[in-house]
Amino acid sequence: MPPSRLHPVLRPRVWPIHLLGLVAVAVAVSLGMWQYGAWQAHRELAAAEVTTQDPVPLSDLLPPGEGFPGADVGAPAEITGTWRDDLTFSVDDRRVDGVAGSWVVTPVETADGGGALLPVVRGWTSEPDAVGPAIGTVSGAGWLQPGEGTGAVDDEPDDRVLPQLRLADVVRLLDADIYQGYLVLDIDGETGVPVSNAAAEGLSAVTPEQVPEVAPNTSLRNLLYAIEWWVFAAFAAFVWWRFARDEVDRARVAEELPADVGEVPSPEERAQEAAVASSS
């Protein structure tokens, strides 16, 4: 091969290495950015105080039959409907200040839901058996929540007690169409909307802070993946640099030491050559 006037690192035989290196680094960096973006979106969502927004009608946030709007976890929603006391159930293992208790949940047939039931958390109590019935119509506001999913198993599927408010369990229990979420009823008027017929005797209010967080690990996983991708990008860049340097060294050896190709220049010699090359 005749010595090219191009610097060895720019010669055609090194191009595939550059292309591969560029693609690998670009892909890894952008995948890292994507995961980092997902992590930030989660954090912004967590930081945004959705729970103190002005209440809007439920049908604006979560129409029946539609999936839960991810950005509206804890958003205040107004409802009007009829208590379905016959379908009341409870969710146990809800601790408040160290006291074991339950949420009492009564589905509400909303006025505009076309028959779909909205599970409504009426309140918390340490004695679920002592809570009175919820009869008649109800109107008020509460904080909208997606179903839970902690992996807790319902040991006794035949009673009206659930270990968590998982919508799949609720559907099985109620045997009816339900909304893809539930409402924590605001019985103290925190949202600014007065509640009528909250059926809250014997119950204390559940606040949005008491609602178990949904998959808190998800965002951390995104961050870990982002870092992983960037470490990978750095590794790809290193491999790229190493391959390119090999080619340069090989070219130097071929051109400058044609007599004894077998002898590889020492690092000191290489540095001297580089200094000479850059000064000329």
Partner 1 sequence: MRGTLLRYRVMATIVGVLLIVLILVGVPLANFDGSSMWGFIPSTPGWVTPDSGAQQLGEGITHYLGVAHGWLYMIFLVTAFLLARKALWEPGFTVVVLLCGTIPVLSFWAEHKATTRVRQEYADELAPGATSQPSA
Q: Which residues bind partner 1 (CB under 8 A)?
A: 16-17, 20, 149, 151, 153, 166, 168, 217, 221, 224-225, 228, 231-232, 235, 239, 242-243, 246
Instruction: Give least dist CB 232 to partner 1, A.
Output: 7
Three-state DSSP class for residue 228: helix
Nearer to partner 1, 149 or 265 (CB): 149
In the complex with partner 1, the residue whose CB is nearer, 234 or 274, is 234
Q: What is the 3-state secondary structure (H, E, C) of 91-149?
A: EEEEEECCEEEEEEEEEEEECCCCCCEEEEEEEEECCHHHCCCCCCEEEEEEEEECCCC
In the complex with partner 1, which residue's Cβ is closer, 85 or 228? 228
Query: With respect to partner 1, which residue has the nearer C-beta, 228 or 269?
Result: 228
**Region for residue 148 given its phi and psi (left: phi exceeds 0; alpha: psi -120 to 50; beta: otherwise):** beta
For partner 1, the closer CB: 20 or 50? 20
Q: First-to-last CA distance in the chain? A: 23
Point out which residues pair with 126 in neighbouring strands.
none
In whole angstroms, the minimum distance from the beta carbon of 218 to partner 1 comes to: 9
Least CB distance to partner 1 at residue 19 (A): 12
Around Cβ 244, how many Cβ atoms within 10 Å?
17
Dig out the tokens for 94 from the structure. 């809800």
Contact 125, 101 (CB under 8 A): yes
> Residue 239 Cβ, how far from partner 1 at the closest point, in Å?
6
Smallest separation, CB 145 to partner 1 (Å)? 17
